[in-house]
Chains A and B, each alone.
Chain A
Amino acid sequence: MNFNDNSNPVVLLVWTIPILIFVVYGQIIQLKITSIEINKSLEKLKTFKDDTRKELIDYIKTTIKPNTDLTSKFDRFFEYFTIMPVDMDPAGIVSKVRHIMRSREDFTREQVRSLSSEMSRLEASKIESILEAVTSIYMLYKVVRHMFFTAKKQNNYPLILPLQMMMPFIMEEAEALKTAVSAFKQGQPIGDGIGPMIVGKMMLGTEKKTAAFETIWSQSEFEGRKLYLMKAEGPVASVGRPADALERVVSENKPDIIIMVDAALKMEGEDSGAVAQGFGAAIGGIGTERFQIEEFATRHMIPIYAFVIKQSIKEAITLMKKEIADSAEKVTSQVYDIIKENTKPGQSALIIGVGNTLGVSQ
């Protein structure tokens, strides 16, 4: 038998059979390989979900020592959902979204507070933050599982492709949330707290007044200019209500410029802790606070300057990295430069430190 001969039927079969198999079953083979990879990630997500749930329940048991078993109560919390308002007629939707989100926050706060009457606000805020992280991991797990099972059930390869592409990003977020639980438990500042840390330092030694729920402000002076300083009230885990607070401070004091300092997601290749300066309301979240700030500033014709400190999603919600903490001095000096360049002596500036002020006082 001559195996070098292309006309040999055995050699022909060796070539053609795999080609035929791949032509007919290629998509199914690829679906199986992709399924194995996604299944591994799904298992990892399940571990994250179970571990963080256990961490939260253990934390509650050790810190507030409840008389009853709270496991079933918390299992109900993890399943809570939020129905966003109808957007077919978008007029007035921002106030509806704000109302729904605040109702949810208020409900969670009250439920956590009801666990123990002796619990401090700091302790309650830590539990609320951990609860938020665990609920987010639950949601990620449920969405990934739904998409994966649907694709498998329908044997639908195109349906599994977007999931395969999104998986690394979903896992990055889930890992960040899992790591965040440890920082929340110990009350350590997170990357997002850099804005409140910068403004908190400027507030040292000044008289603090309440501007809105969990948001404080104070007055200071700089080279003949009046400074109004504002941040969430630390060291509890809170972002406060900067838009409500801004409305009050602006109505009472009419500042000439507004400066907002916040953390921002960096692009790949950018350094953590890099500082960028720009214009507009630097504030994240669902968008209701930003809308309110923009509308109020526009009505009063006050320019808004923004400083952002770059970081990854993981750095933003986990223990503050040294590079981010070290950027504080640089940002502070740039804030003072902006005040000098854009106001004259006798004028005033409102400086807002935006972000979660966990572990950062003032």
Chain B
Amino acid sequence: MKFRKKKEIITPYSTEQCSSCKKISKRQFKEGDFVFKSTGACSSCNGQMLITKIFGETMT
């Protein structure tokens, strides 16, 4: 008997964190993203947003 593997779809996400208020937001990965890249000002406190993680989440 052979076990068939389920087809996996992996979606890439980037997690951004504000260096001042520590607010975390998650969005889909965009080309040009890299970990520890500054992405602009925080919408809540105007602090510096930094990409802290880029990862793939599996959807079956």
Chain A residues with a Cβ under 8 A of chain B = 186-189, 197, 200-201, 204, 234-235, 318-322, 324-326, 328, 359-362
CB distance from B21 to the nearest CB of A (A): 17
Q: A320-B55, A359-B54 are in contact. List 10 more A-B contacts (CB 8 A).
A: A188-B54, A189-B34, A189-B55, A234-B35, A319-B10, A319-B55, A320-B56, A321-B56, A321-B58, A359-B33
Q: Could you list some 27 contacts between A and B, CB below 8 A?
A: A186-B12, A187-B31, A188-B12, A188-B54, A188-B56, A189-B34, A189-B54, A189-B55, A197-B35, A201-B36, A204-B36, A234-B36, A235-B34, A235-B35, A235-B37, A318-B10, A319-B54, A319-B55, A320-B55, A320-B56, A321-B56, A321-B58, A322-B57, A359-B35, A360-B34, A360-B35, A361-B35
Which residues B17-60 have CB closer than 8 A to chain A?
A: 29, 31-37, 52-58
CB distance from B26 to the nearest CB of A (A): 10
Q: A200 and B36: CB pair below 8 A?
A: yes
Q: What CA separation (Å) do A235 and B36 show in the bound complex?
A: 9
Q: What CA separation (Å) do A185 and B17 show in the bound complex?
A: 25
Q: B55 and A186: CB pair below 8 A?
A: no
Q: What CA separation (Å) do A359 and B36 show in the bound complex?
A: 9
Residue numbers in A under 8 Å from B56 (CB-CB): 188, 318-322
Chain B residues with a Cβ under 8 A of chain A = 10, 12, 29, 31-37, 52-58
Q: B55 and A362: CB pair below 8 A?
A: no
Q: B36 and A189: CB pair below 8 A?
A: no
In this complex, the member of A188, A326, A360 whose beta carbon has the largest number of chain B beta carbons within 10 angstroms is A188
Q: What CA separation (Å) do A235 and B34 show in the bound complex?
A: 7
Residue of B nearest to A122 (CB): B34
Residue of B nearest to A234 (CB): B34
Residue of A nearest to B52 (CB): A201
Residue numbers in B under 8 Å from A320 (CB-CB): 54-56
CB distance from B12 to the nearest CB of A (A): 6
Q: What CA separation (Å) do A321 and B32 show in the bound complex?
A: 19
Q: Given A188-B12, A319-B10, A319-B12, decide whether A200 and B57 contact each other with a Cβ distance below 8 A.
A: no
Residue of B nearest to A323 (CB): B55
Q: B29 and A188: CB pair below 8 A?
A: yes
Q: B53 and A325: CB pair below 8 A?
A: yes
Q: What CA separation (Å) do A318 and B52 show in the bound complex?
A: 18
Residue of B nearest to A201 (CB): B36
Q: B54 and A325: CB pair below 8 A?
A: yes
Q: A361 and B37: CB pair below 8 A?
A: yes
Q: What CA separation (Å) do A252 and B32 show in the bound complex?
A: 36
Residue numbers in A under 8 Å from B52 (CB-CB): 201
Residue numbers in B under 8 Å from A324 (CB-CB): 55
Q: A322 and B55: CB pair below 8 A?
A: yes
Residue numbers in B under 8 Å from A200 (CB-CB): 35-36
Q: What CA separation (Å) do A203 and B57 show in the bound complex?
A: 27
- 8 Å CB contact of A325 from B10, B32, B37, B55: B55
Q: What CA separation (Å) do A102 and B54 show in the bound complex?
A: 30
Closest 7 CB pairs of A and B: A235-B34, A319-B56, A325-B55, A361-B36, A360-B35, A322-B55, A325-B53
Residue numbers in A under 8 Å from B58 (CB-CB): 321
Q: B36 and A362: CB pair below 8 A?
A: yes
Residue numbers in B under 8 Å from A189 (CB-CB): 34-35, 54-55
Q: What CA separation (Å) do A361 and B52 show in the bound complex?
A: 10
CB distance from A337 to the nearest CB of B (A): 22
CB distance from A63 to the nearest CB of B (A): 11
Q: A360 and B36: CB pair below 8 A?
A: yes
Q: What CA separation (Å) do A234 and B31 show in the bound complex?
A: 16
